[in-house]
Amino acid sequence: MKEYKAYFAEAIATFALVFIGAGVILSDSFSNVGILGIALAHGLVLMSMIYAIGHISGGHLIQQ
């Protein structure tokens, strides 16, 4: 059962990374966020997901 929790946590984190990343890239055309804003958004999502689910899955988001 522990494996399924880890898989589900990784799926949530990957969804958040893709969803927020794509949202920031799409908003770049409207608000001129720039490459620095896109990079910061991806980094902040990655950091928050590692802190949020790192204890469940071991934080394997960075080992891809």
Confidence band of 33 (pLDDT split at 50, 70, 90) = confident
Average pLDDT for 23-39: 87
Q: Is residue 29 part of a domain?
A: yes
For the cut 60, the answer to whether the pLDDT of residue 52 exceeds it is yes
Number of domains making up the chain: 1
Q: In this predicted structure, what is the pLDDT of residue 15?
A: 92
pLDDT, tens digit (0-9, with 9 covering 90-100), for 8-27:
988 998 899 899 988 898 88
For the cut 80, the answer to whether the pLDDT of residue 63 exceeds it is no
Q: Is residue 64 part of a domain?
A: no
Identity of residue 13: A
Q: In this predicted structure, what is the pLDDT of residue 19?
A: 92
DSSP string of the chain, one letter each residue = -HHHHHHHHHHHHHHHHHHHHHHHHHHHHHH--HHHHHHHHHHHHHHHHHHHHHHHH-SGGGG-
Query: Domain containing 43: what range?
Result: 2-58
Q: Is residue 33 part of a domain?
A: yes
Q: Is residue 30 part of a domain?
A: yes
